[in-house]
Each structure stands twice: as C-alpha cells, then as structure tokens.
C-alpha cells in the first residue's frame, strides 16, 4: 500500500512522535511537513499549532526542519525537538514562534 502524504489538516507526512495533553488532545510531530498538528479529542481534522503552515522547512524560530520529539506541559506549551536544525524549541501556547532552550541550531 502506498503512503499518501499531504499538507491539508486531515493529512500527515511521516509523523514521528505524539503526546496527549491533560484534556485528551493529541499532538503529533508531522516530520516531513515541518509542523506540529493538534487533533482535538474526538476529531480527525488537525490544526497546525507550531511550525510552518505550508509544509516547508526553515531555520528561523517560526519554522522546523524535521521535528521529531514532542512534549506538552500542563499549560499547553510545547517542547519540540527540531532534528535537522539541531535544537529544542519551547513554543508557548498560541505563539507564532518558539525560542531555543537546547542546542544552538548548528551542527
């Protein structure tokens, strides 16, 4: 069976990690779309809560390049391991960008 990737809210492309928040919402690192998708409890349609909304990689603090690991704290803030940018970003809930909390963004 072929893998079908897409950038629409109901599709993922090479998802890597997932976590749940206290309310049961699902967060998935959508690695090849360079974003984090949030699926509200019971929904099959996600929304981009971190990263680029058009599926392209980047190096600035509003983009990821292959996000892999993810955690969410009790306030809904995200901690995302950004693989090819060699960093971990803290992404406050509702924010359009994150801040580096580990790594330096370089090899």
Q: What is the pLDDT of residues 43-71, one digit of tens each?
A: 999 999 999 888 899 999 999 999 999 99
Separation of alpha carbons 43 and 30, rounded Å: 17
18: left (phi over 0), alpha (psi -120 to 50) or beta: beta
pLDDT at 3: 62
Separation of alpha carbons 83 and 31, rounded Å: 9
pLDDT per residue as tens digits for the range 2-17: 568 888 999 999 999 9
Separation of alpha carbons 43 and 54, rounded Å: 21
């Amino acid at each position: 069976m072929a893998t079908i990737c897409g950038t629409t809210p109901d599709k993922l492309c090479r998802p890597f990690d997932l976590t749940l928040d206290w309310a049961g919402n699902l967060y998935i690192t959508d690695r090849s779309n360079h974003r984090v998708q949030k699926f509200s409890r019971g929904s099959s349609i996600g929304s981009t809560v971190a990263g680029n909304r058009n599926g392209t990689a980047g190096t600035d603090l509003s983009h990821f390049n292959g996000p892999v690991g993810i955690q969410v704290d009790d306030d809904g803030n995200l901690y995302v391991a950004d693989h090819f940018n060699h960093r971990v970003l803290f992404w406050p809930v509702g924010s359009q960008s994150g801040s580096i909390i580990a790594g330096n963004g370089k090899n």
